[in-house]
Amino acid sequence: QVQLVESGGGSVQAGGSLRLTCTVSKRSDNDVCLGWFRRAPGADREAVATTFSNGGDTVYVHSVRGRFTLSQDNAKNTLYLQMSDLKPEDTATYYCAAATAIKREFCWAKTWAYNYWGQGTQVTVSS
């Protein structure tokens, strides 16, 4: 079982930056896929970036490449999403998620299989 708690959302103007934080609590030492997702008003949930808990390839959705950076501090059991050059289209509720039954090479390909979710944090970008 995995518990995830996000923080760090807020309101910024276009071009600004925010850093989202996700505290990850696991009952076992098994490695898992971790990811950031977002849901904009009226839109489907979208995977923003995924990685594997003990390191590995991080994959980003095309629209955030070069602007967002996913990182993790395993000593603190924390996942981060540094967001820079924010745009109004980045406005959404952002969720941290974990997948316990996906192999590391499928962390991005099988985003439908993420089975643990945080409560979400709102990011609003004004023009």
pLDDT number for residue 74:
84
Q: Could you state, in chain order, the average pLDDT of each consecutive group of 10 residues for the chain (127 residues)?
A: 95 98 90 96 96 90 98 92 98 97 92 96 97
Q: In terms of C-beta density within 10 A (0-12 exposed, 13-18 middle, 19 or more buried), how is residue 90 classed?
A: buried
Pairing assessment for the beta strands 10-13 and 121-126 based on DSSP bridges: parallel
pLDDT number for residue 47:
98
104/50 Cα distance (integer angstroms): 10
- Strands in the chain per DSSP E: 2-7, 10-13, 18-26, 33-39, 45-52, 59-60, 68-73, 78-83, 92-99, 116-117, 121-126
pLDDT number for residue 22:
97
- The sign one gets for the Cα dihedral 116, 106, 7, 10 is negative
Centre a 10 Å sphere on the Cβ of residue 104 and count the other Cβ atoms it contains: 16
